Structure 1
Amino acid sequence: MRAETAGGPAVGVGNLERARLAAEIHDLYDGRGSGERLLAAFRAAALYVPLVEDEPMCSAAVDGVQWLYAFTAAGELERFARARAEAPKQPGPVSGRIAYWTVLGSRLLDVAVPVAVAETRAATGVSVDVAGVRPLLMPPLSKVVPDPVAVDLLDGA
């Protein structure tokens, strides 16, 4: 992981893998997607994860599920930051430079999701390009996240 700012992302770092993920998301929306290819592309991609003050990771809870935010492109991250700044009760305007980590999708699923579950005690998945035209949810299910935090494998599920 490394911290950077949007508007000046590291050129070439993970671009091919992010492009593959974007293509898989596009195929999914066009009805030609493959869950296995999509998951493999997600795990290989170095995604942009915004840094937000007073939060270990930028996330939101919706209907009992905690969603960690990740983005396939600096433009998607900037769109999200603008939408967040314009929302009521959000801190200050976007300055044009957004701090973020570059994190492999595999690290988000295998490390960040279990840590978030341990901290929040809530089912946790990853939301990709949440403010974009083609958002994607990586749900907290087996074969996506580690079995101990997969909601479909928990007792009583």
Structure 2
Amino acid sequence: MDLPGEIAAMRAGVGDPGALVGELRRTAVLVPTVGEDQLMSGVFGGVRWIFAFTDEGALGRFAVLRGGDPGRPWEYAAVLGARLLDAVVPAQEEPTGVAVDVADEDSSMLFPPVVGIVPDRVAVDAGEWGAA
């Protein structure tokens, strides 16, 4: 099953959390960029959330909600989910998770910085953030 399918199954209450995280890890998601090398993110609930999208349509809906011109393309990077979780998240200076397809109310999914999703050393429930 692809990432949108795993998200739909989880939202329907029949998904497997391990399969969902595994599918994110195997999927190249689209992450809008700010400047040359910075990935777009936002802060909510004390967590920095990196915005990631399963396709250009989902990214486009997000751009419009953020006040972007629907005819103007947004710059983005295609990033393997495993790289986001294993390299990008640990490099941040604060608890960081991944928010997938956040402009789509019925198909969005948050991957918080907890054990089983991000490396233990940066998980809020076990690592350096959890120890604070």
Matched to 1:77, the amino acid is L
Q: Deviations over 1:99-126 (max 9, x none)?
A: 110010000000110112xxxx321000
Question: Is 124-133 or 94-103 further displaced after alignment?
Answer: 94-103
Q: Deviations over 1:17-47 (max 9, x none)?
A: xx71110001111111000110111100010
Query: 1:9 corresponds to which residue?
Result: none
Instruction: Indicate the SS of the match to 2:34.
Output: coil
Query: 1:130 corresponds to which residue?
Result: 102
* Runs of 5+ consecutive residues of structure 2 not aligned to the other structure: none
In structure 1, how many angstroms separate the alpha carbons of the residues matched to 2:36 and 2:2? 33
Tell me whether 1:52 sits opposite 2:34 in the alignment: yes
Pairwise CA RMSD: 1.8
Larger relative contact order, structure 1 or 2 (CA cutoff 8 Å, min sep 6): 1
Question: Is 46-55 or 66-75 further displaced after alignment?
Answer: 46-55
User: Would the alpha carbon gap of residues 54 and 46 (structure 1) be closer, same or farther in structure 2, given more than 3 Å must change?
Assistant: closer
The count of residues paired between Structure 1 and Structure 2 equals: 129
Which of residues 25, 34, 55 is equivalent to 2:16?
Answer: 34
Tell me whether 1:96 sits opposite 2:68 in the alignment: no
Matched to 1:105, the amino acid is G
Instruction: Indicate the SS of the match to 1:61.
Output: strand
Which of residues 71, 87, 93 is equivalent to 1:111?
Answer: 87
C-alpha displacement of 1:147: 1.1
In structure 2, how many angstroms separate the alpha carbons of the residues matched to 1:23 and 1:134? 9
In structure 1, how many angstroms separate the alpha carbons of the residues matched to 2:67 and 2:34? 12
Tell me whether 1:144 sits opposite 2:117 in the alignment: yes
Higher-Rg structure is: 1
TM superposition score normalised by structure 2: 0.89
C-alpha displacement of 1:54: 7.5
In structure 2, how many angstroms separate the alpha carbons of the residues matched to 1:148 and 1:142? 9
TM superposition score normalised by structure 1: 0.76
- Identical-residue share of aligned pairs (%): 40
Which of residues 46, 56, 74 is equivalent to 1:64?
Answer: 46
C-alpha displacement of 1:156: 3.8
Q: Deviations over 1:119-156 (max 9, x none)?
A: xx321000000111311000100111011100100354
